[in-house]
Amino acid sequence: MSGLAWPMLTPPRPLQVWRSWNWELRRPVDLTRYRQQLRAEALPAGRSPEDSDADEAAVERLLLIFEELASNGVRHGLPPVFTTVTGALTGWLIDVTDADPRDEPVPAVDRDPAHGGLGLHLIARLCAAHGWAPEDGRKHVWGFVSLTGVD
């Protein structure tokens, strides 16, 4: 699992935004509620999961990446932790911020997968782009989930 660096990059600013969700994460139970809301509202207007397999797969990637990034923020971030999911015509940007801009995300290396801690590797493989950046006194850890998958 080594070799997947977590790059220092500012989050992109998606063009043609059609929807945005913003939540404060205070405890793990918040993740379940927000994930359910995101599942219900994630497809652009006029689309449904039945329209194509690509859409259903993209929504599943979105929900998985949301869960991984948000749970990392709740477990390892310094409160307050906020999550913004921005829906664009090409995919979704998930941006989790916390109050510790110096504590960069570090992917696990040489860890037995049975012990967990491999979420950053999963995010890196499933996202079209990912990174982290300190900005305005906060740390942003983000991933961009493409509607068409990862090449």
- Residue range 26-54: mean pLDDT, rounded: 76
Instruction: Give residue-wise pLDDT tens across range 3-29.
Output: 456 899 999 888 888 889 999 999 889
Q: In this predicted model, what pLDDT tens digit does every residue of 90-148 receive, in sequence order?
A: 899 999 999 999 988 988 777 766 666 788 989 999 999 999 999 999 999 999 999 88
User: Quick one: average pLDDT of 81-91?
Assistant: 93
CATH class of 17-146: alpha beta
DSSP string for the chain: -TT----B-PPP--SSEEEEEEEEE-SHHHHHHHHHHHHHH-SPTT--GGG-HHHHHHHHHHHHHHHHHHHHHHHHSPSSEEEEEEEETTEEEEEEEES-TT-------S--GGG---HHHHHHHH-SEEEEEEETTEEEEEEEEETT---
**pLDDT of 52 over the 60 cut:** no
So what's the pLDDT on residue 33? 94
pTM of the model: 0.86
